[in-house]
Homo-oligomer: A and B are copies of this chain.
Amino acid sequence: MTSGPGTSAHQGSPTSQSHRAVPWSSAITATTDERVFVRGVALDEAMGRETFSAMLLRLWRGDAATEEEADLLGACLVASVDHGPVSPSALVARTIAATRAAPMSGLAGGILAFGELHGAVVSRAMRILAGAPAEAGLQAWADEVFEAERAAGRRLPGVGHRWHHHDLRAERLLEMAAPLSAGRLDSAVRALAARVSRHTGKPVPVNIDGGLAVALTALRLDAAYGDFLFAISRSFGLAAHYVEEQARERPMRTIDPTLAQYDGIAIPGSGGD
């Protein structure tokens, strides 16, 4: 049987229902001729009256945020917003900026550098924390988790860092999250840190992924949002690196990450001085 114009792109007997038209629904946003409503709230009414953090929590969780919750989510965004010019994602964004490829290419490219070792860790940490028991069983749980991750060839997320021996951002998140979760999550992540410390023989800090995991879990956000929160906040930093690269450097320059200098506003001496 020959076929020609007017024929479905798949011929014969399609066995999957997937090509029939099926109504589907979304509960996030509705639009009218004049307005956009996110979770039932008109954006124009929220603008200037609700902080962006409060709106974001509403968007992702579906219900209104208390002021304390909005502040905690805002703190998560602040904590993640940048980490300097030689972070892999920033280097990718700069490399793409250097070829004068489009801004969206630089942004998307930088985001694609996030993987299980860099930037796509918070969700996994949240899923682990979700299984934490009450105080009593924490040490056994931490042992189990440590062994399971080790058997799977993975680093335990949420603890340790290549550079920061003591991450004040993580500590601040744990401090701000404590009232919202009765300290339960804080104890859980510290139990994991203690277990890793036993293994390495050195003190091991709760890192930014652990701090974010505790905070976002205390905010009752779906674990999937952990990596999104980090990546999208960091995107604001990637944008700054893209813009600075094009403003300061000539096109197609070779970027040597070992020769990056800081020439911005003076910062105080490192902690412990």
Contact A39 B269 (CB under 8 A): no
- Which B residues touch A51, using CB under 8 A? 51-53, 74
Q: Tell whether, in the assembled complex, residue B11 and residue A31 are in contact, meaning their CB atoms are under 8 Å apart.
A: yes
Question: In the complex where A6-B261, A13-B33, A111-B108 touch, is A103 in contact with B228 (Cβ < 8 A)?
Answer: yes
A232 within 8 A of B: yes
Give the complex CA separation of A43 and B83 in angstroms. 10
Residues of chain B contacted by A270 (CB below 8 angstroms): 1, 11-12, 32-35
Report the stretch among A138-146, A184-192, A219-227 that lies at the interface.
Answer: A219-227
Are A254 and B59 in touch, CB under 8 angstroms? Answer: no
Which residues of A in the span 1-38 have a Cβ within 8 Å of any Cβ on B?
1-16, 18-38
A194 touches B (CB below 8 Å): no
Contact present for B55 and A267 (CB under 8 Å): no
Contact (Cβ within 8 A) B59 A26: no
- CB–CB A27/B264 < 8 A: yes
Within 8 A of B (CB), among A250-265: 251-265
Separation of A165 and B272 alpha carbons in the complex (Å): 55
Are A271 and B34 closer than 8 Å at their CB atoms? yes
A-B contacts, 12 listed (Cβ < 8 Å): A2-B269, A3-B30, A21-B258, A27-B263, A28-B82, A30-B262, A38-B237, A47-B79, A59-B237, A96-B112, A104-B111, A255-B257
